[in-house]
Amino acid sequence: MMDGLTLALDAAATTGTIALLRDGVLVSARSVAMRSDAEERYLPAILEVVAAGDATLRDLDRIVCGEGPGSFTSLRVAGAIAKGFALGLGRPLFAVPSLALIVTASEATARAGSRWLATLDAMRGDRYLALITVGTDGTVSSLEALGLAPATTIAARARALAATPIGPDEAVVASPHASGLVRCVALVSSAAPVDLASWEPRYGRLAEAQVKWEAAHGRSLA
């Protein structure tokens, strides 16, 4: 599945990350701030990563996008770009859980059989959680999405699961990065390409703007 050129994108943690893999091996990668009032940074950074791999967009064999959960706006931007490339180039688009990319992007997690409670800020005092196990070859062997939990309960949840917390706000500090796709081959290989007409990222919860609107109007936004 990972033969040829793979462009990986993720922006679950508001930082846009990009990686180019050739035959499953990392060729080039970059991180860039998503939000800027002065300029668009993410798309130019993607083109730079592809060029750094001595390739063009037409050389790509597939696109893989972090599907979240995470930052609503940043996920939408990354997802829209990924879908645009897939449609325009006629290439398949695959999705990978962004919480897995927290574990696989960190050098601290390669120990075989290690268990990790990956977390990411969900706002309002909550965090998104996933229980991830690393296999004998250092890649993700299993992932169980655990939804939302109060940040104050993370330590107890990790102890109960015999797992080590990892994330931007945990003792083992790590953020999702598209380069972690190198160690997520099984997750992508076992999945079919997404349906480009209907796919969108898994946001994990309603956008903050929608929550505020519903609170102000006392009803759900249709």
Question: What local confidence, expressed as pLDDT, does residue 209 receive?
Answer: 60
* Confidence (pLDDT) at 212: 65
Q: Cα Rg for the chain, rounded, in angstroms?
A: 17
pLDDT of residue 181: 97
Which of helix, strand or coil describes residue 151? helix
Note whether 159 and 171 are within 8 A (CB): no
Rounded CA separation 26/126 (Å): 33
Which distant-in-sequence residues (6+ apart) come within 8 Å of 180 by Cβ?
100, 101, 102, 103, 104, 105, 106
Q: What pTM was computed for the model?
A: 0.90
What pLDDT score was predicted for residue 37?
A: 60
* pLDDT for 188: 84
Predicted pLDDT of residue 217:
61
What pLDDT score does 210 carry? 58
Task: Chunk the chain into consecutive blocks of 10 residues (it has 222) and report each block's average pLDDT, rounded to whole numbers.
Answer: 91 94 96 75 95 97 96 91 97 97 94 95 94 94 95 97 97 96 87 93 70 64 64
Residue 216: per-residue pLDDT: 66
User: Considering only CA atoms, which of 93, 101, 29, 83 is closest in space to residue 61?
Assistant: 93
Contact indicator for 105, 180 with CB cutoff of 8 Å: yes
Which helix (H) or strand (E) element contains residue 94?
A: strand 93-96
